[in-house]
Chains A and B, each alone.
Chain A
Amino acid sequence: MLNYTIRRLLISIPTLLFISLVIFLLLDLAPGDPMSSIPLTVPPEVKEKMREALGLGEPVHIRFLNWLYQFFVVEPQVAWDHLFGTDFAEGKQRIISFQSRSPVMTVVAERMPQTLWVVGPSYVIGILIALPIGIISAYKQYSWFDQIGTFISMIGFSIPTFFSGVLLIVVFSVILQWFPSIYDTTHTVTDWGSFWYQVKQMIMPVSVLALYNAAQISRFMRASMLDNLNQDYVRTARAKGMSEKVVVLSHVLRNSMIPVVTVIALGVPTIFGGAIITEQVFQVNGLGQMLITAIYASDAPMVQTLTFIFAVLIVLFNLIADILYGILDPRIRYD
C-alpha cells in the first residue's frame, strides 16, 4: 500500500501539471474579457491600454510559464518569508488578480476562514445526519422512517439552494426576524455574546447546505446498505449468533461504505471550493463567491489559481478514497 501511495503521489505531479495547462488554455479560449465590467463610457483605446497593463499582450506560453513560476516558486517563497521573516521573494512578481490588482494568495487566505466556518460545518453535519438516516432507512426498508427520509432527501436534493436559501431568509429574517439575512464577515468571536451571534448568522446557510449534502449521501448509504443486507455473509453472521448490532454496524456497514467514501471524498474538495450559490444568497463571501465573481470578471489569474488549488485537493482526496477502499475491503489490491 505504501508503494502504491508513493507511486500515485509521483504520478500526481505530471497529472496536475497537465491539468493546469488544460485549465489555462480553457480560460484563454473562453470568450470573456476582463474589461467587460468597465462602463461603456470608458473609450476603447483606454481599455486596450488597460489590457496591456494586465500583461494580456504576451503570448500564451509565456503567460503560462510565468504563472507556473509564480505559483511554484514565488508564492512558496512569500509564504516562507511570512513565516520566518526572511526575504527570498523580495521584488518578485506575485500572482496578481485582474480585478483588484492584489496578490491572489492573500485574498485566498483572507477568504478561507469564511468558507471553512460555513461550508465545513455544513458538510460535517450533513454526513452526521446522512449516515444514520441511510442505515436506518435500509435496515427498516419501507417503514415510515424510510418513507419520510426518502421524501425529505428528494425534496432536499431537487430544490435548488437559490430557492431554499431565499425561502429561509423570508421566513426567519423578514417575518420572524430571528437571524440576520446578511452574513457579517468582519465579525470576530471574542466572548459568549459574539459566539452566539456567529452561531445565529451561520444557522441558515449551514442548514441549507447540510440538507443538500445529507440528501445525497443518505441515498447512497441506503442503497449500498440494501445491497449488502441480503448477502450470504450476513446470513452466515446471523446464523453464527452474532447480535444484530454487530452484524449491521460492523459487517454490513463496513462493506457498504465504498460508494459513500467515494461520494464524501468527492465532496471534501468542494468545501474548499465554497458553495457558490449559498455563499451568494447569504453574502458569506467565501472562496465560492470569489471564484464566481472572478469568472464573471474574466479574472484569469484568480480563476486559474483557485481551480488549480481545487484540482490538487481533488487528486489528493481521490487518492485517499482509493487507499480507504483497500482498508475497508482488504481484497482490493492495487499492486
Chain B
Amino acid sequence: MNFKTVLMGAVAGIAMAPAAFAERGADGHVNIIYWQAPSTMNPYLSGGTKELEVASLVLEPLARYDETGAMVPFLAESVPTVENGGVSADLKTITWKLKEGLKWSDGSDLTSADVKFSWEYCTSEGGGCAQSEKYNDVESVETPDDLTIVVHFAVAKPFPYGPFVGAQAPIIQKAQFADCTGPAMASCTDQNFAPIGTGPFVVDEFKTNDVVSMSANPNYRDPMKPAFATATVKGGGDAAAAGRAVLETGEFDYAWNLQLAPDVLADMESKGKGHLEVSFGTLVERIMVNYTDPDPALGEERATAAHPHPILSDKAVRQALSMAIDRELLVEIGYGAAGKVTCNVLPAPAIYASTANDACMTQDIEGAKALLESAGWVDSDGDGIREKDGKKLALLFQSSTNAVRQDFQAIIKQWWEEIGVQTELRNIDSSVFFGGDAGSPDTFQKFFADVEMYANNFDGTDPEAYMANWECKQAPRPETQWQGNNMPRYCTPEFDALVAEMAKTGELEKRAELAKAMNDMLMQDYAIIPLVYRGRVSAASNTLGGVIMNSWDSELWNAADWYREK
C-alpha cells in the first residue's frame, strides 16, 4: 500500500466523476462490509462508530465536516459564522437556514420543527441519549419560520457547532419519533431500526448485528443521486475477512476499518481487485504514565493522588522512557501508511499541531541511559535493572487485547530493558479495559498499573474539550466512581489555568496558541508519551468510484456520490 495508489484512486475518482451523473439507481447494487456490525440505526441511542457511520447513509445533519476537516453545509443553506452574521457577536446565538424544498424519504417536508425536535429528543429526561454532550449548554431552540432555526446557548460558545453538526447529531423526523422521547426511546424498536431520513438511502430491512438492506431514497434532494439502486451493509467476522472480501475475492465493494499488519494489507492490495483508502483525523496511540502509586497494599487509596508514584514521579524516568522508543519503527511494524510518527497528543488540525517536541522523533537509547544515570538511577547489583534508594525501576505495562498493541508492548519492553527498566506486560480484554465498571480492577480509568497504552481522539475539529481532559478534577478516583479522562492524574495549576483561559477565548489564533501550549506542557512533562498518529484505513473495490475517505465525519459521508466504474 502506498500513498501513490491512494492518490491515483482519488484523481481517477475526480476525473471519472462526470460519468456518475447518469441517473438515480442506474448502477445497481453496492456491497459494504463493516466487520463490527451495526446494532441500531439510531445514533442517539448508541455512540458507537459503526452505528454512526451506517446511520449516516440515512440520517443527515445540517452540516458535515469534509475530508479536510472544513465544514460543508448539508441540510443547511450555508454554515453560519460571526462574519456572515449567522453567529451573534456575544457567541451565544447561532442561526441556521435550511435549504428550500427538502423532503423526508416518506415524501413529507423537512421543517425547522424537525430540527428543534432532534434537540428535544436527545435531551429528554431518562432517555440516556449518547450524544447529549453535543447539545450541552443549549438553552432554547427557536423556529421563527419553517426554514430558520435559532439556537440559544446559556454561555458564550467560541465553537457553536456542537448541535446538529456531524454524524453524531443528525436530524430525525418529528412525526416518526414524537412518541419516542425519554424512557420510551428504547422501546421504539421499529423507529430505531428504520428511521426516516433525508440521506441517499432508505432502510428496507434491518437485522441487528448482522445486515442492513437499503434502497435509494426516492425523494433525495439531487434527482440524479444516488447512483446505486440498492445497498447492503453486512457485518460480522474480523478485519482480515473483510479485507479479503474486498481486496482478494472482490465480493464486496467497500470494507471499513482494516486494522491489519501492513504487510498483510500490502499483500492483499497486490491482488489488484481494490485499493486502500487512508485518512488522518486526530487519533493518537499513546502511553499514559501513572503519576500515582498503584501498589495493591495501599487499599482504598491505591492509584489516587494521595500517594505519588515511587519511580514515575521522577521526570527523568518518564523522559528516559520516551527517549528509548523508536517511533518510526513502531509505525513501520504496526501501521505502515496508516500511521505517522508524532510527538504530540494533539496532532491535528494543522493550526493546533505543535512542533516544539519533535526531538522525540529519533530514538536515543544512550541519551536515556545517561539521563537515568545522572538522575541517580544506577544498576548497583548488576542484575541489569537500575535502582535508586532501594526502589527498582520495574514497571507493569498494560494495554487492551489487540495484535498490534501486543507487538508494540513486546518491542517497547525490549527497549526499556535495554535502558535498565524491567517491564512486565499485561493485556486485558477490551470490553473490560474500556468498560467503566467500577467493580473491576482492570479498567483503564482505574489504571492499576504503571503505564498503559491505548488510542484516543476527539470529535470534529475543536480540541477544547479534549485538552480539558487533563485538568486536575478530571482524574478518576473513588469519589467519582473512577470516572474521568485524566488517566495520568496529571495535576498542575498552570495547566488548569490554560483550560479556563481557552473556555473564554473566541479568536481562532489565540485558541490555537492555548491548545499548543497545553499540548507542549503535557509533552514536556512526559505525562503522556505519544507514539503514533493513526489514520483510518478502509478498502474500496477498483470498480467503486467517488469514494472520498474522511476521518472528521462518517466515512460514508458522501455515499450519495458513489458510482460504479465502467
Chain A residues engaging chain B, CB cutoff 8 angstroms: 29, 31-54, 93, 96-97, 99-103, 106-107, 110-111, 166, 169, 173-174, 177, 180-182, 184-186, 279-285, 289-290, 293, 295-298
Contacts and interface: CB of A to CB of B under 8 A. Distances in A.
B244 A169 contact: yes
Given A41-B459, A101-B40, A101-B189, A280 B45 contact: no
A177 B46 contact: no
A41 B430 CA distance: 16
Contact of A181 (B133, B183, B251, B485): B251
A181 B435 contact: no
A181 B213 contact: no
Interface in B483-530: 483-485
A33 B252 CA distance: 33
A272 B506 CA distance: 59
A49 B40 contact: no
Given A32-B431, A37-B48, A39-B49, A100 B40 contact: yes
B209 A293 contact: yes
Contacts of B48: 37-39
Contact of B432 (A36, A101, A174): A36
B187 interface: yes
Interface in B442-477: 442-443, 456-459, 465-466
Given A185-B211, A285-B211, A53 B186 contact: yes
A182 B234 contact: yes
B308 interface: no
A104 to B, nearest CB: 10
A280 B238 contact: yes
A78 to B, nearest CB: 13
A33 B211 contact: no
B249 A173 contact: yes
Contacts of A283: 234-237, 241
A298 B249 contact: no
Nearest to A102: B189
10 contacts: A32-B432, A35-B436, A42-B47, A43-B485, A46-B131, A100-B193, A110-B208, A180-B251, A182-B234, A182-B245
Given A44-B483, A100-B209, A53 B431 contact: no
Contacts of A50: 128-130
B437 A31 contact: yes
A295 to B, nearest CB: 8
Contacts of A42: 47, 130-131, 133
A295 B435 CA distance: 13
A96 B235 contact: no
Given A41-B457, A49-B128, A280-B238, A36 B244 contact: no
A177 B249 contact: yes
B384 interface: no
Contacts of B213: 186
Given A41-B459, A107-B209, A185-B211, 12 more contacts: A29-B439, A31-B435, A33-B437, A35-B436, A44-B436, A46-B133, A50-B128, A100-B192, A169-B241, A174-B244, A182-B251, A283-B237
Given A33-B431, A169-B241, A181-B245, A43 B133 contact: yes
B435 A40 contact: no
A168 to B, nearest CB: 12
A285 B37 CA distance: 10
A34 to B, nearest CB: 8
B132 interface: yes
Contact of B237 (A36, A40, A174, A182): A182
A32 B234 contact: no
Contact of B456 (A40, A106, A184): A40
B408 interface: no
Contacts of B205: 186
A251 to B, nearest CB: 48
A99 B485 contact: no
Contacts of A295: 431
Contacts of A99: 39-40, 46, 208-209
A53 B435 contact: no
A330 B466 CA distance: 73
Contact of A32 (B185, B211, B435): B435
A106 B208 CA distance: 10
Interface string B120-153: 0000001111111100000000000000000000
B128 A54 contact: yes
Contacts of A106: 189
A182 B33 contact: yes
Contacts of A169: 241, 244
Contacts of A35: 435-436
A38 B251 contact: no
B232 interface: yes
B418 interface: no
Nearest to A165: B241
Nearest to A28: B439
Contacts of A41: 47, 456-459, 466
A79 B132 CA distance: 36
B248 interface: yes
B17 to A, nearest CB: 30
Given A102-B189, A177-B249, A285 B209 contact: yes
A285 B33 CA distance: 13
Contacts of A49: 128-129, 132
Contacts of A186: 205, 207, 211, 213, 232
Given A32-B435, A53-B127, A100-B209, A285 B235 contact: yes
A298 B234 contact: no
Contacts of A51: 128
Contacts of A44: 436, 480, 483-485
B241 A181 contact: yes
A51 B132 CA distance: 14
Contacts of A37: 48, 431, 434
Given A35-B436, A39-B49, A186-B213, A96 B236 contact: no
A31 B432 CA distance: 6
Nearest to B445: A44
B380 interface: no
B210 interface: yes
A53 B127 CA distance: 6
A40 B431 contact: no
A298 B440 CA distance: 13
A49 to B, nearest CB: 5
Contacts of A39: 47-49
Contacts of B241: 169, 181-182, 281, 283
Contacts of A102: 40, 189, 192-193, 208
Contacts of B249: 173-174, 177, 180-181
A102 B437 CA distance: 23
Contacts of B236: 279-280, 283-285, 289
A173 B241 CA distance: 11
A107 B32 CA distance: 22
A17 B443 CA distance: 32
Contacts of A45: 483
A40 B456 CA distance: 7
